């Protein structure tokens, strides 16, 4: 345990979290494509094979359905597996295991068997990995009852969510935005597990609420900083968990600011932003002074070309201009 | 040809001041239109007209104080001949007012008005309702002229200003506001003193198990939006209305030594005013209204009572009074009858109490209902049947 305040990267925070879990509990093991000898395709598990050995750091064949299924089986057998899928795009090959087995086993077994598996995967664009490696599909998983969907954005959440997820008796999916791995941040001494069922106000404000998660958080915070120079005070909410959604936190903010912009890298139609917007309409209609708006990824396959990829993703400047329009046109 | 007279707006009213005409000579009026405002001890009351027709002549000018029964205006029925002298007078000396009135188009029907939808944010609409802002006079600065909260707040700030500066504001209006509370107090004092002096009250009390009714209401309300929810008080109003159908003797008046039961059931509901005092405006034909209609009527009545905008018929038509002090925490209320009515029923707070049924003890939400009856008009036996009927209707709440 580190007893000092430190600056570390998001990648190191995730690695520390896995290492600590494996040290604490021998039921914990990591498996996935290239997690062992190669050290993980995003280098999260670098050097861990040497430390924990092949039994606990397991390289798997390129067969998402098989190794996610194996993880579910291990969890049913009493282990606490951490399954790594390279990116959310490949998780579609394991969708049947996740949706039909992991999420439903407790129900199908009449409440006899929990599935305490944790499945981690990278998500998001911005690294020029093109259309088959760059999408943000976590919103799809938020549709499924029976699983939890976590989107740690900060170093502290990357470090603290894993253990709480492992201790949860049901399947938990953790989505790590691939542009965050190199992000450096401050980690307080003696890091502790954090809750996985609350959204959090990362910056208080009075004029408008921006609801976001993952990498969107930092774009929203940058935008809020610039907007405050124009005397627009933006409240920024980090959802942290997409399922279950913490309605109370964002509805309380709506009651305060009366205007909402939801920022989400995923495609707009039928996305998580739509769900949040609907909940605001259902429960906070009479608090709204302007229509709720969404800033989402453009509905195209992610372009490879860097400038086009950036154009397809929500950017800080987009947030600033939409917020200005929403606040100004509403007195 | 009909005379529109100064109405009696309470048992003890002898005269009233005509404050304002809402119509002018030549206007078409319909039964139920509000055509004048009259000041009484209870404040300013809007007066409805009871005939369809045309305002032929206005006989009393604003500011005049006249006894109850004085003709205020002449209403000519539609199709009736114009009185020759009036027609003559019109031709020879048309007043400037009439000149203006003549080319005026017929007033648009309220139904058409309502169809014009105002673009406004939900929050602004809520604020406007709270601040009593007329939205038709608010300029919207939002997209496509939508009204937002800031616009409403601006309008509210402007609405406050003129009051201070406009010189033509008659000074009496201020006095009226100051004297309003005093007037209400006096009116209550007169009515209650008379009641206690003249009416030999008898009192009955019964405890009612509300578990069925509340459970049913809760299930019903769960299906509704907050705005559409029905308050328990509405169940009580409806139960009283239906019980009066079973026991009609309690619905009516005692006038000049004669008991006069009424067929129509108009329930006076005691509404306390923020500045003190209370008014008991009537919910007309409460027995014929659905729970939704009653809820709407009650909500509307409370808003208008507190804003001082009641109609004359609402002030005078009540055939019985309900007083409900439950929300203040009182368990039992013994009321004083509002003359010339012959009964008043009181409801307290619904509290959880031990309840014995079929030899078993359980905890139930229990309501204490009381009846104050005029012993000149009815006897305890009648009152007992009435309270029993209320109980039965509340047990059978699905039929309310």
- Selecting from A286, A330, A331 the residue whose C-beta is nearest the C-beta of B126 gives A286
Q: Which pLDDT belongs to residue B308?
A: 73
d(CA B177, CA B174): 5
Q: Are B122 and A286 inside 8 Å of each other by CB?
A: yes
Using one digit for the tens of pLDDT, what is the confidence trace for B280-339?
889 999 999 898 899 989 888 888 887 777 887 788 889 999 998 887 788 899 999 998
Q: Which pLDDT belongs to residue B132?
A: 83
Q: Which pLDDT belongs to residue B82?
A: 57
Query: What's the token pair of residue B202?
Result: 């008898």
Q: What 3 state SS string does chain A have? A: CCCCCEEEEHHHHHHHHHHHHHHHCCCEEEEECCCCCCCCCCCCCCCHHHHHCCCCEEECCCCHHHHHHHHHHHHHCCCEEEEEEEEHHHHHHHHHHHHHHHCCHHHHCCCCCCCCCEEEEEECCCCCCCCCCCCCCHHHHCCCCCCEEECCCCHHHHHHHHHHHHHCCCCEEEEEECCCCCCEEEECCCCCCCCCCCCEEEECCCCEEEEECCCHHHHHHHHHHHHHHCCCCEEEEECCEEECCCHHHHHHHHHHHCCEEEEEEEECCCCHHHHHHHHHHHHHHHHCCCCCEEEEECCCCCCCCHHHHHHHCCCHHHHHHHHHHHHHCCC
Residue B149 pLDDT more than 80? yes
The answer to whether the CB of A273 falls within 8 A of the CB of A136 is: no
Q: Report the gap between the CA of B265 and the closest CA in chain A (Å).
A: 37
Residue B239 pLDDT more than 50? yes
Residue B179 pLDDT more than 70? no
β-pairing verdict for A200-203 and A28-32: unpaired
d(CA B320, CA B343): 6
Residue A148 pairs in a beta bridge with A172
Mean pLDDT across the stretch A253-277? Answer: 97
Q: Which domains does chain B possess? A: 2-101 (2.40.50.100), 117-165 (4.10.320.10), 201-399 (3.30.559.10)
Which A residues, 150 through 179, put their C-beta within 8 Å of a C-beta on chain B?
Answer: none
Q: Which residues of B50-69 are buried (b: 16+ CB within 10 A; e: fewer)?
A: bbebbbbbbbbeeeeebeee
Q: Are A330 and B122 inside 8 Å of each other by CB?
A: no
Residue A103 pLDDT more than 50? yes
Q: Which domains does chain A possess? A: 6-187 (3.40.50.970), 200-328 (3.40.50.920)
Best mutation target, A255, A289, A291, to test chain B (most B CBs within 10 A): A289
The answer to whether the CB of B80 falls within 8 A of the CB of B19 is: no
CA Rg value for chain B: 24
Q: Is the pTM of this model over 0.80?
A: no
Best mutation target, B123, B138, B152, to test chain A (most A CBs within 10 A): B123
Q: Report the gap between the CA of A325 and the closest CA in chain B (Å).
A: 10
Residue in A12, A33, A133, A138 annotated catalytic:
A133
Phi, psi for residue B167 in degrees, rounded to 5: -75, -30
d(CA A296, CA A301): 14
Residue A38 pLDDT more than 70? yes
Residue B111 pLDDT more than 60? no
Residue B376 pLDDT more than 80? yes
Tell me the residue length of chain A: 331
d(CA B271, CA B384): 26
Mean pLDDT across the stretch B358-377? Answer: 93
ipTM above 0.85, yes or no: no
B144 chain-A contacts, CB cut-off 8 A: none
In degrees to the nearest 10, what's the CA dihedral of A55, A56, A57, A63?
80
DSSP secondary structure string for all residues of B98-160: HHHHTTPPPPPPHHHHHHS---B-HHHHHHHHHHT--GGGPPP-SGGG-B-HHHHHHHHHHHH
- Selecting from A285, A289, A329 the residue whose C-beta is nearest the C-beta of B149 gives A289
Lowest mean pLDDT among A145-154, A186-195, A250-259, B179-188: B179-188
d(CA A288, CA A269): 22
Residue B112 pLDDT more than 60? no
Q: Are A331 and B122 inside 8 Å of each other by CB?
A: no
Using one digit for the tens of pLDDT, what is the confidence trace for B49-88?
888 888 888 888 888 888 888 888 888 887 666 554 444 4
Residue B101 pLDDT more than 60? no
Kindly indicate the confidence band of residue B116, based on its pLDDT and cuts at 50, 70 and 90: low
- Selecting from B124, B142, B149 the residue whose C-beta is nearest the C-beta of A329 gives B142
Starting at the edge strand found earlier in the chain, the sheet holding B15-21 runs B65-67, B15-21, B34-40, B43-48, B310-311
Concerning whether A293 is annotated as a catalytic residue, the answer is no
Kindly indicate the confidence band of residue B192, based on its pLDDT and cuts at 50, 70 and 90: confident
The answer to whether the CB of B317 falls within 8 A of the CB of B282 is: yes
Q: Which pLDDT belongs to residue B83?
A: 54
What is residue B57's three-state secondary structure? Answer: strand
Residue A31 pairs in a beta bridge with A58, A83
- Per-residue DSSP letter, B93: S
Looking at every residue in chain B, the average pLDDT score rounds to 81
The answer to whether the CB of B298 falls within 8 A of the CB of B236 is: no
Using one digit for the tens of pLDDT, what is the confidence trace for A171-204?
999 999 999 999 999 999 889 999 999 999 999 9
Query: What's the token pair of residue A192?
Result: 């502790």
What is residue B280's three-state secondary structure? Answer: coil
Using one digit for the tens of pLDDT, what is the confidence trace for B30-51?
888 888 888 877 677 888 888 8
Q: Are A258 and B143 inside 8 Å of each other by CB?
A: no
Q: Which pLDDT belongs to residue A120?
A: 98
Determine what percent of chain B is predicted with pLDDT higher than 90. 26
Please enumerate in sequence order all residues whose Cβ is within 8 A of that of B228, keeping only pairs 6 or more positions apart, or say none: B292
Q: What 3 state SS string does B327-345 have? A: HHCCCCCCCCCCCCECEEE
Q: Give helix B380-395 / helix B232-246 axis angle, nearest 10°.
A: 130
Tell me the residue length of chain B: 400
Half-sphere exposure of B204 (CA within 13 A, CB side): 20
Question: Is A100 part of the contact surface with chain B (CB cutoff 8 Å)?
Answer: no
Mean pLDDT across the stretch B120-141? Answer: 86
Q: Which pLDDT belongs to residue A316?
A: 98
Lowest mean pLDDT among A68-77, A309-318, B158-167: B158-167
Mean pLDDT across the stretch A231-237? Answer: 97
Q: Are B121 and A330 inside 8 Å of each other by CB?
A: yes
The answer to whether the CB of B25 falls within 8 A of the CB of B97 is: yes
Q: Which pLDDT belongs to residue B110?
A: 45
> Sign of torsion, CA A290 A294 A295 A299?
negative
The answer to whether the CB of B295 falls within 8 A of the CB of B225 is: no
Residue B201 pairs in a beta bridge with B374
Using one digit for the tens of pLDDT, what is the confidence trace for A71-91?
999 999 999 999 999 999 999
A290 chain-B contacts, CB cut-off 8 A: 121, 142, 148
Q: Are B150 and A330 inside 8 Å of each other by CB?
A: yes
B126 chain-A contacts, CB cut-off 8 A: 286
Q: Report the gap between the CA of A230 and the closest CA in chain B (Å).
A: 19
Q: Report the gap between the CA of B123 and the closest CA in chain A (Å).
A: 5
Kindly indicate the confidence band of residue B385, based on its pLDDT and cuts at 50, 70 and 90: very high
Return the number of other C-beta atoms located less than 10 Å from residue A278's C-beta: 11
The answer to whether the CB of B55 falls within 8 A of the CB of B320 is: no
Q: Which residues of B lie closer than 8 Å to A, measured between beta carbons?
A: 121-126, 141-143, 148-151
């Amino acid at each position: 345990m580190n007893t000092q305040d430190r600056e570390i990267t998001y990648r190191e925070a995730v690695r520390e979290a896995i290492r600590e879990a494996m040290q604490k509990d021998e039921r914990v093991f990591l498996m996935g494509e290239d997690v062992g000898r190669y050290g993980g395709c995003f280098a999260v598990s670098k050097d861990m094979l040497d430390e924990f050995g092949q039994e606990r750091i397991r390289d798997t064949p390129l067969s998402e359905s098989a190794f996610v299924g194996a993880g579910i089986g291990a969890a049913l057998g009493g282990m606490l597996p951490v399954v790594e899928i390279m990116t959310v795009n490949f998780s579609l090959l394991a969708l049947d295991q996740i949706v039909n087995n992991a999420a439903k086993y407790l129900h199908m077994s009449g409440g006899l068997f929990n599935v305490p598996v944790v499945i981690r995967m990278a998500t998001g664009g911005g690294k020029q990995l093109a259309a088959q490696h760059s999408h943000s599909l976590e919103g799809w998983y938020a549709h499924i009852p029976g699983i939890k969907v976590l989107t740690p954005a900060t170093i502290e959440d990357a470090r603290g969510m894993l253990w709480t997820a492992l201790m949860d008796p049901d399947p938990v999916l953790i989505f790590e935005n691939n542009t965050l791995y190199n992000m450096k941040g401050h980690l307080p001494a003696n890091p502790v597990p954090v809750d996985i069922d609350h959204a959090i106000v990362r910056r208080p404000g009075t004029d408008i609420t921006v609801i976001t998660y993952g990498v969107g958080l930092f774009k929203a915070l940058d935008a809020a900083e610039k907007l405050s120079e124009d005397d627009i005070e933006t409240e920024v909410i980090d959802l942290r968990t997409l399922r279950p959604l913490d309605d109370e936190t964002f509805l309380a903010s709506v009651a305060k600011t009366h205007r909402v912009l939801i920022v989400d890298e995923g495609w707009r139609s039928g996305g998580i932003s739509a769900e949040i917007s609907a909940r605001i309409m259902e429960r906070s209609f009479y608090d709204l002074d302007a229509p709720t708006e969404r800033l989402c990824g453009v509905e195209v396959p992610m372009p490879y070309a860097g400038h086009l990829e950036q154009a397809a993703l929500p950017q800080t400047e987009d947030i600033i201009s939409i917020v200005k329009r929403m606040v100004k046109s509403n007195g | 040809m009909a005379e529109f007279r100064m109405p009696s707006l309470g048992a003890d009213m002898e005269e009233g001041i005509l404050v304002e005409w809402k119509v002018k000579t030549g206007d078409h009026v319909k039964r139920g239109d509000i055509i004048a405002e009259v000041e009484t001890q209870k404040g300013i009351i809007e007066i409805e007209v009871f005939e369809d027709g045309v305002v032929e002549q206005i006989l009393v000018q604003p500011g005049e104080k006249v006894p109850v029964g004085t003709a205020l205006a002449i209403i000519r029925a539609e199709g009736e001949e114009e009185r020759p002298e009036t027609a003559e007078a019109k031709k020879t000396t048309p007043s400037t007012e009439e000149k203006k009135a003549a080319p005026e188009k017929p007033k648009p029907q309220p139904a058409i008005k309502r169809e014009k939808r105002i673009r406004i944010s939900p929050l602004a609409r809520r604020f406007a309702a709270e601040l009593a802002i007329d939205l038709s006079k608010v300029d919207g600065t939002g997209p496509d002229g939508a009204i937002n909260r800031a616009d409403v707040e601006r309008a509210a700030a402007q609405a406050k200003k003129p009051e201070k500066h406009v010189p033509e504001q008659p000074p009496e209006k201020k006095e009226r506001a100051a004297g309003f509370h005093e007037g209400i107090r006096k009116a209550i004092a007169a009515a209650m003193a008379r009641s206690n002096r003249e009416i030999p009250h008898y009192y009955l009390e019964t405890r009612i198990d509300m578990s069925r009714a509340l459970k049913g209401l809760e299930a019903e309300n769960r299906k509704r939006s907050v705005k559409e929810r029905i308050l328990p008080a509405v169940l009580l109003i409806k139960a009283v209305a239906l019980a009066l159908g079973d026991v009609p003797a309690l619905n009516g008046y005692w006038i000049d030594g004669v008991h006069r039961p009424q067929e129509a059931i108009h329930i006076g509901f005691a509404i306390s005013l923020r500045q003190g005092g209370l008014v008991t405006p009537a919910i007309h034909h409460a027995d014929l209204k659905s729970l939704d209609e009653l809820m709407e009527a009650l909500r509307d009545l409370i808003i208008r009572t507190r804003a001082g905008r009641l109609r004359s018929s609402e002030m005078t038509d009540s055939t019985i009074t309900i007083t409900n002090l439950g929300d203040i925490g009182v368990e039992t209320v013994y009321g004083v009858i509002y003359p010339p009515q012959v009964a008043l029923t009181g409801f307290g707070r619904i509290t959880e109490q031990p309840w014995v049924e079929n030899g078993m003890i359980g905890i139930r939400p229990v309501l204490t209902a009381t009846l104050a009856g005029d012993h000149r008009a009815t006897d305890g036996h009648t009152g007992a049947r009435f309270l029993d009927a209320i109980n039965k209707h509340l047990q059978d709440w699905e039929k309310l």
